[in-house]
Amino acid sequence: MSKEMTIIALGIWIIITPYLGVPGSWRTVLLVLSGLGIAVTGFLLRGESIARGAGSRTSRSYVESPATPQSLHEPAHEDSQGINSLN
């Protein structure tokens, strides 16, 4: 099961647990364990997100795009339909 589906399943489990008729002490234990499961899964997802973000930042390089003949004649702030900053 993916980590995202684990979060969804534990969330649904937490929603329905109070209505199952489980004794109070067991319900408390089940909810605490479910909360810990969500926290651990969240930390794992956060770690994967940080690892993905760090890898993509280091592999990018700056490349200036060449000027096209059309862009040399038209100011950058005006639209091709004649809309300018005064409209």
Is 85 among the domain residues?
no
Structurally, the chain folds into a number of domains equal to 1
Report how far residue 9's alpha carbon sits from residue 32's, in angstroms, rounded to the nearest whole number: 15
Collapse the DSSP code of 49 into the 3-class scheme (helix H, G, I; strand E, B; otherwise coil) and give the result.
Answer: helix
Q: What is the pLDDT of residues 30-85, one digit of tens each?
A: 999 999 999 999 999 998 888 888 765 555 566 777 766 665 555 555 555 655 56
Is 18 among the domain residues?
yes
Residue ranges making up the domain that contains 46: 3-55
Is 82 among the domain residues?
no
The residues near 84 (Cβ < 8 Å, ≥ 6 apart) are 77, 78
Instruction: Tell me what pLDDT residue 64 has.
Output: 75
Tokens coding 77: 């702030």
Is 23 among the domain residues?
yes
Q: What is the pLDDT of residues 21-35, one digit of tens each?
A: 989 999 999 999 999
Collapse the DSSP code of 31 into the 3-class scheme (helix H, G, I; strand E, B; otherwise coil) and give the result.
Answer: helix
Is 46 among the domain residues?
yes
